[in-house]
Chains A and B, each alone.
Chain A
Amino acid sequence: MAFTVVMPQQGNSVETCIIYRWRKNVGESVAKGEILLDIETDKAVIEIESGVNGVLLETYYQAGDEVPVKTPIAVIGQPGAHTSAAQPAAETIAASPRARKRAAEAGVDLASRRGTGAQGRIIERDVLDAVLPRLTPAARALAESGMPIPPNGTGIGGRITTDDMLGAANAAYSTIPEAAVDPETQPASSSHAADELTIISLRGVRKITAERMLESLQTSAQLTLTASADARALQAYRARLKASESTLGLSDISLNDLMLFAVARTLRGFPDLNATLEDDVIRQSATVHLGFAVDSPRGLLVPVIRSAERLTLQALARESQRLIEAAGKLAPDDLSGGTFTVSNLGAFGVETFTPILNSPQVAILGVGKIDLKPIQGDSEVQFIPHLHLSLTIDHRAVDGAPAARFLQALCRNIAQFDLLLAQ
């Protein structure tokens, strides 16, 4: 008996996943619960366990392939088992366009359906037969009136309810249905034979980053303000932490952690910057879910520290450390739901830059390097270390003056970091 492994559905919005790597080779045995492969979504790498004991008989895709969810990707069984029944959805499946559309919406594998149309062609009814039992009677009535059926339900036993139907109908359907049925066969990257060009197609994190950055700039009114903060208190505090007894567990708290702490605490008083703007609605958050940009091997990731304004410095530092260490395999939930973002390029010697908003958030802070700045003292000019800060806001949601006030408060809190700790 052969068992078909299908690309699992990772959340409602994910339509395709990339095979990151196979942990098993064809011919190797695999135990139930053992990791079979890693897949990559736009947000995370996820380990996929084998659901059965057996031998990996066949794989249909290579590492780097982008595969629609619910598509068969491998077969596990006893050696010699018949695997042809578990072939991936091939382009040769005869199905009506309406059947394809339904299948794509509801996550039905067309290959698993028997066609009852002319010459065995799969028609809409054949797809609906697979889905309708998962719908409540009322949802079924909506489906029969032509409303799209979402792949996942929130009702009892995972049943699809009218709320799920209405939600799916409202969601913008950007998929081309056929894309979900015909697996892409292009390799992830191919180098031109004769010249040095490396051609990398946009996929996974890179593709999502590309789309989001462009969308951010195209759909919001971005304005960047810059300022610098007296960094002496910050540096002195960091030096104390570094010199502290290792038993206290404070010596690894970084300058970036101090910055995240200062930002989170300062944001408490500025709800208009701790907000998102979507569909003409500004949502100000009472808690600060603080995103921070991490340069991971897989590209730019922005993990989110939940309720950052309530954490002690040590708790915040631990959480940021965990998120950085886990960057390659963070769960989607660790990467979403942020209300404000910090991007720190100071370590690379960057003075100032104009960060791009992490949509739909309305503000992002760029942190630059620390430079000496001449300041006129009582009798002479002093050179005082200052930290460069640049704040990009969405001018649709926030005006310049409140943004400036936030930046001013942040500079003050950094300059008086020891006092901020006491608050």
Chain B
Amino acid sequence: MNTHYDLIIIGAGAGGYTAAERAGAAGKRVLLIEKAQLGGVCINVGCIPAKTLFQSAKIYRQLQDTERFGVHVDSVRFDMREVIARKRRIVAQLREGVRQQIERRGGVILQAEARLTGRKTVRADSVTYSAERILIASGASPVIPELPGIDQPYVFTTTQLFDLETLPSSLVILGGTPIALNVASIYALAGSKVTLITDQPALLPDVDEEIRALLLRDLSAIDFHLGSHVTQIVDKSVHISSPSATHEVRADAVLISGERAPNLTGFGLEEVGIDADTRIHVDDYMRTNVPGVYAIGDVTGISMWAHSAARMAQVAVNHMFGTVDRFRQDTVPFFLHTYPEIASVGLTEAAAKARGIPVQIARLPLTANASFLIENDAQRGLCKMVVDRRTNVVIGVHLYGGECSTLVLGAAAMLEDEFRVQDIQQMIFAHPTLSEVLRDTLDELR
């Protein structure tokens, strides 16, 4: 096997495999080293399993609420064993797709533990490989809290939960991250009694305040314990303590879904002198302090989403091989597969004000949109757009309701190219679709 490459990538998650594909497509010789499975968290135990479960749970939920559409369904049943079997097929298919995409562009995939041994060398399977550039995409892992009972067999991370063939009748989620909320919503839809416990005082602190309140009100099937912590897990029961009281919640299954910590140890970062404390520090081009060594994705701690990692991969590969590019954090889209969905891109009113940007806010209830009304009837929904008063540029789009995540691409494109209100008003929006709210909301501006 060849031991010299143009690029060695450590970690084959969403960032690592995207970089391998992109560099391969540019004609570079790429070695991708992964100690576990191709696809990383996203494909195996994260986004893809979650979305697969969400799809089944959503259909299940919709079939219980068909009468108002004039459709009568006699019986509906959710079979977790079949859902998980489907998930396994989809995961396997996507993983194989990744392998083919990389290999048909000449990339080499090695399943092994990698270790940096120098600026341009990586050791794996007792062989030293060298490359002009090295890309670290080692990802992050869930932080497991130290807690009596945390080692009980019914305490899981998503790795085990998303493989559980029976739907737990009660699920307790420890953690207040967006992902925790997402999983809570999926299992509640499928019929679990879900409790979410976090020591944070509020959920989704970065989301627009009004939209956050709407979402949390509509997720009333979930029992939230904010500002609380768990004291122990014993006999399928989670003991909670909050400033006001202590109580116990029944838990057939417990999911740990708190913070995720960048994977920094065990592969030679210190020896090579890479600047890392709780994360690897990189610049807008994904360069670390060590020349020729780049880092992307969760390990950088900048934005821990698969789509951010994939974009960082593109930036890093572009920069390595001479194309001007940079990672722009302000246009990272955000959405959750809750029911209804929440989606946003750009600055909230609060974030804009914190930066001293004078803004104007446009808001429109989604029930004003024909398509939304047809699809969702009386469900609530909202579109809020943040406009920079100085330039009339739209700098934030925040949505709640229905399947609003479908609009986030269009909104991101508008932000990336700094569309002004008058530019958007000159676009044609297909009718009747939800996309029209992006124009109609701006029409509310005075």
Contact = CB atoms under 8 A, between A and B. Distances in A.
Interface stretch (B191-199, B268-276, B365-373): B268-276
Interface string B90-111: 0000000000000000000000
Given A306-B289, A307-B289, A331-B291, A138 B418 contact: yes
A319 interface: yes
A80 interface: no
Interface of B is mostly: loop
Indicate the member of B328, B388, B416, B418 with the most A CB atoms within 10 Å: B418
Nearest to A314: B271
A139 B392 CA distance: 11
A162 B420 CA distance: 11
Given A138-B392, A138-B393, A307-B275, A154 B417 contact: no
Contacts of A158: 324-325
Contacts of A333: 283, 287
Contacts of A310: 275, 277
B423 interface: yes
B152 interface: no
B419 A137 contact: yes
A139 B418 contact: yes
Interface of A: 136-139, 141-142, 154-156, 158-159, 161-162, 287, 306-307, 310-312, 315, 318-319, 331, 333-334
A334 B273 CA distance: 14
10 tightest Cβ-Cβ pairs between the two chains A and B = A136-B418, A306-B289, A138-B418, A138-B393, A307-B275, A156-B416, A138-B391, A158-B324, A315-B273, A306-B275
B236 interface: no
A307 B392 CA distance: 41
Interface string B275-310: 101000101100101010000000000000000000
Nearest to B288: A306
A158 B285 CA distance: 13
A331 B289 CA distance: 11
A94 B420 CA distance: 37
Interface in B402-440: 416-420, 423
A156 B328 CA distance: 9
B270 A142 contact: no
A162 B326 contact: no
A334 to B, nearest CB: 8
A313 to B, nearest CB: 12
Given A315-B273, A331-B291, A162 B391 contact: yes
Nearest to B277: A310
Contacts of A306: 275, 289
A60 B123 CA distance: 48
Contacts of B388: 162
Contacts, number: 56
Contacts of A159: 417
Given A306-B289, A315-B271, A155 B420 contact: no
A287 B388 CA distance: 35
Given A142-B391, A312-B270, A315-B270, A136 B275 contact: no
A161 B326 contact: no
A141 B391 contact: yes
Contacts of B273: 311, 315, 318-319
Contacts of A137: 417-420, 423
Nearest to A49: B322
Contacts of A307: 275, 277, 281, 289
A156 B393 contact: no
A337 to B, nearest CB: 10
A159 B273 CA distance: 34
B5 to A, nearest CB: 17
B271 A162 contact: no
13 contacts: A137-B419, A142-B391, A156-B417, A158-B325, A159-B417, A162-B418, A306-B289, A307-B277, A310-B275, A315-B270, A319-B273, A331-B291, A334-B291
A155 B392 contact: no
A308 to B, nearest CB: 10
Interface in B377-414: 388, 391-393
Contacts of A136: 417-418
Contacts of B420: 137-138, 141
A399 B326 CA distance: 41
Contacts of A156: 328, 416-417
Contacts of A319: 273
A162 B393 contact: yes
A271 B370 CA distance: 59
A50 to B, nearest CB: 13
Given A137-B423, A154-B328, A307-B289, A161 B275 contact: no
Contacts of B328: 154-156
A334 B275 CA distance: 13
Nearest to B390: A162
A330 B417 CA distance: 35
Contacts of B287: 333
